[in-house]
Structure 1
Amino acid sequence: MQDVSASPVPATSPALVGPVPPDRPWVWLAAGWLDLMALPHIGFLYGAAVVAAGWLLTGLLLSAGVAWAVLPATAGFFLVAPLIGAGLYEASRRREAGEPVSFLLCLGGFRRNGAQLALMGAALLLLHLFWVRIAGLLFAVFFGLGFSPAIEMLPMALLRSDQLLPFLIVGTGFGFALACVAFAMSVVAIPMIVDRDISVVEAIVTSFRVTLLNWRAMALWAGLIVVFTAMALVPFFLGLALVLPLVGHATWHAYRDLVR
């Protein structure tokens, strides 16, 4: 017998976007926490895999002698994290529907609407690469191409430079703008692609509609994600083992609440 849960639900009409109270993200977090506590073996294993990937990426950048790229690459995590959560969205969807839930079944979230999800991933990856390129260009503009102290001397060399403050201001401005675009285009788009048989364009348009209609709630939601993720990154990515599955499960409930 064919497993009907392996295919997304066909979209028979345009998605209806509804308003929610500005403080609604706290409800999504509470629902996400319940999912995480009900499926800890999935959430924490997922989070541990992301922590290991963060360690590997940092090690590769340091060994390649491009320590400056660690910070923009870490910041770029905010851009691609919604795609990483596809398996968590599938876990929440299965739990909500009363279907069997396992780690392997949840990985099916990446193939339920695989072609469109891949296109969404390509769009977010291009944003990430663009941000890394911009960060490298800004670093060269403010510090010069000859600025290459040893890795152990890099923090002090940056702190002593008169260009550090303007570099941080301009770099943060560019990063904030790109993060806003990535958030608006993906806040409900990826769980929607996992859940429904729709195109990536329809999902992105719906995501922008949701953001514009509920900009107060979306601003709080984005702020909570940034604060939680930033705190998780500080202890060498260890906090992501908890924050990533919590936010991932909560994102599914945000989608279910915002898109009728």
Structure 2
Amino acid sequence: MANLTRPTPSHPHSDIELRWPASVLWRDGDPAVRSITTADVWQSLREGIDDFRAMPTHVVFACIIYPVVGIILARLIFGYELLHLIYPMAAGFALLGPFIAIGLYELSRRREQGLDVSPARALDVLHRPGIDSIFTLGAFLALLFVGWLYVANMMYTQIIGGTPTSLSDFVNQVMTTDKGRQLMFAGNLVGFLFALFVLAISVVSFPLLVDRDVGVGAAIRTSVRATLENPIPVALWGLIVAVGLVLGALPFLFGLAIVLPILGHATWHLYRKLVVTSP
């Protein structure tokens, strides 16, 4: 297959030349990507924290998270049929995060331009030209989330089988038996592959679609190119997201009301560093 050579516009970090398979990772009109460093990732996180301080939205996220926690607790009280899916559901939340944060990208975009940044302005994302593409890509992530739960359920059924009769029974099965350790290894490995795929296709695709209407295909290609061009910085970002979600989820998901907005705003700033601004 022929290669297409595209020069990357000048950037303070480096001047490089990108070569991508023409029909796979680059098409005429696709946004150009930059090479960044891990320092840019940490800077994006700091800028995300600064955005959160200027535009606190933790109350909004708390209103969304608390009912979810209530449903989970109620389910645990009245039955254990879905107990083995609680961890996959919590871990799989990262698959939906890039779509859930679209309102935060809009707020960061507006703050960047000096516009009104009241929390209600997050809904202005629904009027962005690329909203149809955003929902299309969001639906794809939702399908991946359902697919992950299906795979997680299948692994539990095949390796351990049956339904736990109590929370202690479930913990003992997973933590103290050979089958439980096999399940943890296989589950975390497969979950990592799901997360890696989503990270590659979404690290910049959603903020790009909030910023410009380039279409789903171009957004995904740009995100994959940014990942391949910056494997270590993007891997660091994925680790930051994973650790942040774990820490936020520990106190019955309540910490996510702070973690999610910070990560959402930081994702916008990471996008700004990875993708060349449209003329």
What is the TM-score normalised by the length of structure 2? 0.83
Q: After superposition, where does 1:49-198 map in structure 2 within 5 Å? A: 49-59=63-73, 61-62=75-76, 63=78, 65-112=81-128, 113-144=130-161, 146-198=162-214
Equivalent-residue separation in structure 1 for 2:221 and 2:173 (angstroms): 45
Equivalent-residue separation in structure 1 for 2:63 and 2:270 (angstroms): 24
Q: What's the CA shift for 1:53?
A: 4.7
Q: What's the CA shift for 1:152?
A: 4.5
Which amino acid counterpart does residue 244 of structure 1 have in structure 2? L
What is the TM-score normalised by the length of structure 1? 0.89
Q: Which moved more, 1:64-73 or 1:120-129?
A: 64-73
**Cα 1:111/1:70, change in 2 over 3 Å:** farther
Equivalent-residue separation in structure 2 for 1:93 and 1:238 (angstroms): 26
Which amino acid counterpart does residue 136 of structure 2 have in structure 1? L
Confirm or deny: 8 A CA contact 1:22 1:214 kept in the other structure: no
Aligned-pair identity (%): 34
CA RMSD in angstroms comes to 1.7
Does 2:16 align with 1:19? no
Higher relative contact order (CA 8 A, sep 6+): 1
Q: After superposition, where does 1:202-241 map in structure 2 within 5 Å? A: 202-241=218-257
Equivalent-residue separation in structure 1 for 2:244 and 2:64 (angstroms): 15
Q: Could you say which residue in structure 1 is the equivalent of 2:61?
A: 47
Equivalent-residue separation in structure 2 for 1:139 and 1:47 (angstroms): 31
Q: Could you say which residue in structure 2 is the equivalent of 1:4?
A: none
Which amino acid counterpart does residue 169 of structure 1 have in structure 2? F
Q: What's the CA shift for 1:250?
A: 0.5
Q: Matched residue of 1:163: which SS?
A: helix
Equivalent-residue separation in structure 1 for 2:203 and 2:63 (angstroms): 22
Q: What's the CA shift for 1:153?
A: 3.0
Q: What's the CA shift for 1:58?
A: 1.9
Equivalent-residue separation in structure 2 for 1:98 and 1:69 (angstroms): 44
Confirm or deny: 8 A CA contact 2:44 2:266 kept in the other structure: yes
Which amino acid counterpart does residue 73 of structure 2 have in structure 1? G
Q: Matched residue of 1:24: which SS?
A: helix
**Cα 1:84/1:195, change in 2 over 3 Å:** same
**Cα 1:98/1:141, change in 2 over 3 Å:** same
Q: Matched residue of 1:164: which SS?
A: helix
Q: Larger helix proportion, structure 1 or 2?
A: 1
Equivalent-residue separation in structure 2 for 1:45 and 1:33 (angstroms): 16
Equivalent-residue separation in structure 2 for 1:178 and 1:101 (angstroms): 34
Equivalent-residue separation in structure 2 for 1:24 and 1:50 (angstroms): 31
